[in-house]
Chains A and B, each alone.
Chain A
Amino acid sequence: MGNQKARAIASVLIVVLALVLIVTGVVGMSRRATATGEEILTNMRTRAVLIATGEGAVESYVAIAADQAREAAQAAGASMSEIREAVAAAEEEARNNSSANLLDYATADTTGLDAALSTLRAALMDYRAEEAAAEAAYVEQMQATAAPEETEVDTSQLTSEADLEAMLAEEEEVEVDMSGFVATERMNELRAIADEKYAGVCTELMALYDTLDQAALDTLEGTIFDIVSQSGDDFAREYDRYNAAGGAAALSNRFGAWVIRYGDDLVYVGVGLILAALVVFFYPTLVKKLGVPRMIIGLFFVLLCVVALIYDLSLSGLMSNTLVRMGMNSILVLAMAPGIQCGIGLNLGLPIGIVGGLIGGLLAIEWQIGGWLGFVFACLVGMAISAVSGALYGMLLNRLKGSEMSVTTYVGFSIVSLMCIAWLVLPFNSLELRWPLGTGLRNTIVMSDATSFGHILDNFLSFSIGGFTVPTGLLLFMALCCYLVWLFMRSRTGVAMMAVGNNRRFAEATGVNVDRMRIIGTMISTMLGAVGILVYSQSYGFMQLYTAPRQMGFVAASAILIGGATTSRCKISHVLIGTFLFQGVLTLGMPVANALVPQSTISETMRILISNGIILYALTKSGGEQRA
């Protein structure tokens, strides 16, 4: 009881804190567009410009002093080293003098400069908008002309998943060579206006810095333009830029400005905290319903969302990626379901089905069957192969009741390494599949959109709303497969199969043919594995051979376990929830990890920990049951 009270108090405290943060954040954000926000930015902008020009002024002053010293020394007929010494001494002196004599920022009257900068900024913003529009038009035009040219991808050097991942990200934005871009007339006009305004700023600046000359100001023009305005400016970006240029010193109320700048982040943290408070409050119920690891992963997902928002990563883009990866992996995860339901537990021998699917895909490419026909052909061939291997595999498993998991793992591993040899010796001829020199098939086979069935599901009826792309076809296919499996589970055979999975002895007693049901379940699981890898590959754009399928069984198993399945019970909802959570954590994890620790592989480490941790957890839960 006392425990519950403590939890209630803690959650109330967290909620209060969260509300304070949210209110502060909302107030802060609402003040961005008001006079206060404007004033903050104006002050910072002026200070940033003053600091930048101040440095420029010092440099020009120093340069003049150095020149004078050199001339004087040369006139006196000094040797080279003496000249150098004299110049260095003069530079040093000039630097010290000017730094001391430079403007006192706090007392200087900057009202004129403020106004001049504001007009400059307005003019520059017009210019930048025009520039962006013109560039976009140019890129579009260039892409239209360059599109038929298929970019040849050299996959020979890509080995790790990370490389492919990086390539996948790049693929979206085709680089357009901007060297041919010429400024439009309208841009030139706007630029001239901006230059005019800059002249006004120069006058103000020269009034403040007496050492500053026009030449120095001309060289500073680019710097000042970049400080004052950049394309895509909003409050946060402007604030950050001025802050980086030292503008924060001009603020009288730094904390207030900070609240306004980070108002949105405060709101995000507040929302996150409210969720945390809910978790604290309903902790026992949640643990009972979800189990500790699932709750941790769920919370981790929310945390990643909040951090992604704080780092201003595009959450809609990330969510759209998550959706793609969910669809891409869902069939493989779905393949776990019949295995669990028919009582063989986690089908870690999934690579057996995957290999069948890969052969189907390879045949489609070899015989150049592209498009929908190719996909259907590959699926049918894959399912046919997997039906046979699945049946054999099921018969093997029937002789090993009770120790399926370790055997399936090693049988799967053996098949994958046996297929490694097969990939080397199978008589495929297409150069898309083979190495041009040397023997065997390539490690990663590109599935082009044009000649093969790359992205065929992803692109079917896909649409995007503001950066959020919905891969309609992929999701429809996922839904279709899930529906079919769901339907099967409600058929006579399906019900009998579930009975076997739930309680073998009971099913046996009621006259169900246990061995036959287990073979059917294993076959369906293996066949879904074949379809799953094809869906995965078409979405990925690559087929991965050799050792790549080895760990896929583990990934699929961990996803369904995260969704709430155990080694003996699962539902379709577990498949969907699990795939979404697992892929969501991975998709969000990579950019967030890179934002926190640049250039790190921490997201890969995270994948290993989550994926294997959840399987271990499931094993500790199942071990006890089996002994009992």
Chain B
Amino acid sequence: MRKDFRTLMRDNAVTIMFVVLCLVAFFLSGQSLGYVAYELFGRLSRNAFIVLALIIPIIAGMGINFAITIGAMAAQIAALWVTEWQIPGLGGFAVAALMTVPIAALFGFLIGKLLNRMKGQEMIGGLILGYFANGLYQLLFLFIFGNLIPLHTDGLVIKGSTGVANTIDLNRIQAALDGIWRLDFNTAFYVCMALAAVWFIVRLAMKKTSAKSGGISLGVLAAVVLIYQIPAIKAGFATLRIPVVTFLVVGLLCLFNVAIMRTRLGQQFRAVGQNMTVANAAGINVDRVRVIAIMISTVFAGLGQLIFVQNFGLFQTYGAHEQVGLYAGAAILVGGASIVRATNGQALLGCILFHTLFIVAPLAGTNLLGDAAIGEYFRVFISYGVIALALVLHAWRGRSEKRDLRALSEKE
């Protein structure tokens, strides 16, 4: 049991550190739970989808796909044209999504082809490919759209300057997805809890889980419901209204990630991720599988960015995509994923922790050191630092495993 605890600590060092960091920063910031919860749910609805888009390439052994920025660019191209055509509401969002899919799929295909030529360097390759694509994106938005391909809607092009305006106003499709059906937190909470309880009971009844773990799960649920009854906490969440459809879409993506692993393709992802040589010997077309993994990731990243911009109602034309890869990558690592293993749960947990820190860090910085800028820089540092740490830890583990293996073989 003691050893279990130590392994648990070691394997989840980053996550545990982050939980502590979030708690400390939360208390330092002096913010109410309600404010943090409100901000957090907003950020989750915007960002969770794109983080989930990282899972498949990780399983396929390509590391964190920093090239998802390119998927975000595809979404922004679609968003620009929907604005140009002035299609309002859910229809506009649907058209944008339909446009994003083929564009992002094409981009993903090209990214995959390129990454296949730099096996083992996919992450740095993806990062630099993102920068490179940003140059092409600027070329497209500064010199082609609005010049060679004229745009007619007011505000898309600013007179006297070249190219598309710095900010694109999406008020026609703002909250198109979020606004379909919003529930107040209270109802949503009880519905979720009830569904979870039913799920555990069904699994218990079907003997899929042991009585012990089923009991623990139900107990945790009951505890959560009980804690929720504390008036202070209940009041904190009272003003929240949950965009149900957005979270349902996120849930669908989680289901997709689980379901695809049960298919032939999913097994191929796993095989390629574990060992390319073996997979190749087993008759899997490694390059093709990797391209498919990246294509799926890029398409989901595009849709994720679309969810993001519809929530905001506007986006910075030349900046909205730049940090997508960094933040999503950092978030999934914070949740306990590594660059070879990732699950839906880790992605969602990481998203919650990472964004909690994002909300409270500037305020904590202000209170602690009298300067909000420190908090700002701190969270950027954390984003990069978490990725660096995860890479170092991974390389380290790989080496020690190899060493153990070697020692083992020498002994024999």
Contacts and interface: CB of A to CB of B under 8 A. Distances in A.
Whether A and B are associated in the same complex: the answer reads: yes
Interface of A: 348, 396, 399-400, 402-403, 405-407, 409-411, 413-414, 416-418, 420-421, 424-425, 439-440, 554, 597, 599-602, 604-606, 608-609, 612-613, 615-616, 619-620, 622-624, 626-627
B371 A420 contact: no
Contacts of B371: 424, 439-440
Contact of A605 (B114, B142, B381): B142
Nearest to B385: A414
Nearest to A403: B395
A399 B387 CA distance: 17
Given A439-B371, A609-B132, A616-B128, A597 B162 contact: yes
Given A400-B395, A425-B369, A627-B120, A620 B114 contact: yes
B123 interface: yes
A417 B125 contact: no
Contacts of A600: 142-143, 162
A608 B120 contact: no
* Interface hub of B127, B128, B373 (most chain A Cβ within 10 A): B128
A348 B124 CA distance: 10
Interface in B125-145: 125, 127-129, 131-132, 134-136, 138-139, 142-143
A399 B398 CA distance: 10
B132 A612 contact: yes
Given A399-B399, A626-B120, A619 B384 contact: no
Contact of B139 (A439, A605, A613, A623): A605
A418 B381 CA distance: 6
Interface string B343-385: 0000000000000000000000000011101100110110011
B119 interface: yes
Contact of B117 (A425, A606, A615, A623): A623
Contacts of B117: 620, 623-624
Given A599-B161, A608-B131, A623-B117, 19 more contacts: A402-B120, A402-B395, A407-B392, A409-B124, A411-B392, A413-B384, A414-B385, A417-B384, A421-B378, A597-B143, A600-B143, A606-B135, A608-B132, A608-B138, A612-B129, A620-B114, A620-B117, A622-B121, A624-B117
Given A399-B395, A417-B380, A420-B380, A616 B132 contact: yes
A402 to B, nearest CB: 8
B16 interface: no
A385 B107 CA distance: 44
Nearest to B162: A600
Contacts of B162: 597, 599-600
B122 to A, nearest CB: 9
7 shortest interchain CB distances as A-B pairs: A623-B118, A608-B135, A410-B388, A417-B381, A612-B132, A609-B135, A420-B377
A341 B374 CA distance: 38
Contacts of A615: 128
21 contacts: A396-B392, A400-B392, A402-B395, A406-B123, A406-B391, A407-B391, A410-B391, A411-B392, A413-B388, A421-B378, A424-B374, A597-B143, A601-B138, A605-B135, A608-B134, A612-B129, A616-B125, A619-B125, A623-B118, A626-B121, A627-B120
B129 A616 contact: yes
Contacts of B399: 399-400
Nearest to B139: A605
Contacts of A622: 118, 121
B388 A411 contact: yes
B388 A407 contact: yes
B190 interface: no
Contacts of A403: 120, 391, 394-395
A406 B333 CA distance: 15
A616 B122 CA distance: 11
Interface string B134-160: 111011001100000000000000000
Contacts of A396: 392
B139 to A, nearest CB: 5
A117 B70 CA distance: 64
Nearest to A601: B142
Contacts of A624: 117, 119
Nearest to A422: B377
A602 B121 contact: no
A421 B399 CA distance: 33
Give the interface SS of chain A, mostly helix, strand, loop or mixed.
helix
Given A420-B381, A619-B125, A602 B391 contact: no
Contact of B138 (A400, A605, A619): A605
Interface in B47-105: 63
Contacts of B380: 417, 420
A405 B132 CA distance: 17
Contacts of A620: 114, 117-118
B35 interface: no
* Interface hub of B134, B142, B384 (most chain A Cβ within 10 A): B384
B181 interface: no
Contacts of A407: 388, 391-392, 395
Contacts of B394: 403
B256 interface: no
A409 to B, nearest CB: 6
Contacts of B143: 597, 600, 602
B199 interface: no
A425 B370 CA distance: 11
A600 B380 CA distance: 30
Contacts of B124: 348, 405-406, 409, 619
B391 A399 contact: no
Given A619-B125, A620-B118, A424 B373 contact: yes
B27 interface: no
Nearest to A417: B381
A273 to B, nearest CB: 27
A508 to B, nearest CB: 15
Contacts of B135: 605-606, 608-609, 612
A604 B378 CA distance: 29
A410 B395 CA distance: 14
A601 B161 CA distance: 11
Contacts of B125: 616, 619, 623
A394 to B, nearest CB: 14
A612 B374 contact: no
A114 to B, nearest CB: 43
Nearest to B330: A410
A414 B129 contact: no
Nearest to A346: B124
Contact of B136 (A406, A417, A440, A609): A609
Contacts of A602: 139, 142-143
Contacts of B377: 417, 420-421, 424
Contacts of B369: 425
* Interface hub of B131, B374, B388, B391 (most chain A Cβ within 10 A): B388
Nearest to B378: A421
A111 to B, nearest CB: 48
Given A399-B396, A405-B121, A405-B124, A410 B384 contact: yes
A416 B380 CA distance: 10
Given A424-B374, A600-B142, A623 B121 contact: yes
A579 B395 CA distance: 33
B121 to A, nearest CB: 5
Contacts of A597: 143, 162
A321 B374 CA distance: 38
Contacts of A439: 370-371, 373
Contacts of B378: 421
Given A602-B143, A612-B128, A623 B161 contact: no
Interface in B289-336: none
Contacts of A608: 131-132, 134-135, 138
Contacts of A400: 391-392, 395-396, 399
A420 B384 CA distance: 13
A437 to B, nearest CB: 13
A410 B387 contact: yes
